Structure 1
Amino acid sequence: MVLSEFPTHKVKSLNLTTLTDITFSNKSDGTGSISFGPQHPYQSPIFELIDNVKSVYDTIREAQKKSA
């Protein structure tokens, strides 16, 4: 589930089995962001400012494999 606060409060649920293009970016301190889906033509849902982003990414990918 992804929570958006701007411009209005919205919660969006994503289906793990149909998600494509899950990518992450990280800084040297291990924090970072994970994006879900293609980046064009609109911005995809993103988890931002995540501590230990690689671990969170791995958890999402493992859950995705188990749901297939």
Structure 2
Amino acid sequence: MEGSINMVGLGLAAVGPGIGIGLIFAAFISGVARQPEAQGRLQSIAILGFVLAEALFIISVALAFVLPI
């Protein structure tokens, strides 16, 4: 029973980074569509944002399996 509560929390924790990653790449595509010459700079910023958002999810996965409830 305890493990299932952790997995519910993990599922809820996946929603935030999923929305964040979607917003990051939507802004990237919009920015490149407006100014194609800025693609290189925008791409590095978008990838950094993706990495930070994904790191939060990886930390939540680790905590879901490690911490007892």
**TM bin (shorter chain):** 0.3 to 0.5
Q: Which structure: greater strand fraction?
A: 1
Q: Which structure: greater helix fraction?
A: 2
> Using CA pairs below 8 Å that are at least 6 residues apart, which structure has the higher relative contact order?
2
After TM superposition, the score normalised by the length of structure 1 is: 0.37
After TM superposition, the score normalised by the length of structure 2 is: 0.36
